[in-house]
């Protein structure tokens, strides 16, 4: 792996799109697990809640089409926005310019 400065920055929209696809798949797998194995899923999520006991006083809620759709839309929207902002910030801090050829302007940089 080279540590040389690239002539181009991260392609923010491509990176955000790829991360969004990955997040969508993870969300689908996660929602599916919560439907078929709700108690096991709750125990798993409880281990990630850092000292908050999710099993106390919170009955397991069934996943509905509406709750699945709302959570899915939020997940993909937040992922895209956060990763795009990450790429934009990375490009600003590194002094890289986003590749112009992504817009058809300059074919000389990073193919």
Tell whether 44 is covered by a domain.
yes
Question: For the chain, what's the residue count?
Answer: 111
Average confidence (pLDDT) over 1-19: 74
Question: Widest CA span of the chain, in angstroms?
Answer: 60
Tell whether 107 is covered by a domain.
no
Average confidence (pLDDT) over 26-41: 91
Nearest-angstrom CA–CA distance, 49 and 43: 10
Over residues 65-94, the pLDDT tens digits come to: 999 999 999 999 999 999 999 999 999 998
| Residue 42 per-residue DSSP state | H
Domain count, the chain: 1
Looking at residue 102, what is its pLDDT?
Answer: 47
Nearest-angstrom CA–CA distance, 84 and 68: 24
Residue range of the domain that includes 38: 12-94
Tell whether 83 is covered by a domain.
yes
Tell whether 102 is covered by a domain.
no
Give this prediction's pTM.
0.68
Nearest-angstrom CA–CA distance, 63 and 71: 10
Tell whether 100 is covered by a domain.
no
pLDDT band of 19, cuts 50, 70, 90: very high
Q: Across the chain, what does the average pLDDT equal?
A: 81
């Amino acid at each position: 792996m080279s540590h040389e400065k690239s002539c181009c920055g991260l392609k923010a929209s491509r990176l955000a799109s790829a991360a969004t696809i990955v997040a969508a798949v993870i969300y689908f797998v996660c929602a599916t697990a919560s439907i078929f194995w709700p108690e096991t899923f709750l125990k798993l999520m409880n281990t990630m809640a850092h000292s908050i006991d999710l099993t106390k006083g919170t009955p397991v809620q069934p996943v509905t089409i509406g709750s699945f759709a709302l959570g899915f839309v939020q997940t993909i929207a937040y992922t895209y926005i956060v990763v795009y902002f990450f790429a934009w910030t990375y490009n600003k801090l590194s002094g890289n310019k986003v590749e112009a050829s992504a817009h058809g302007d300059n074919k000389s940089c990073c193919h």
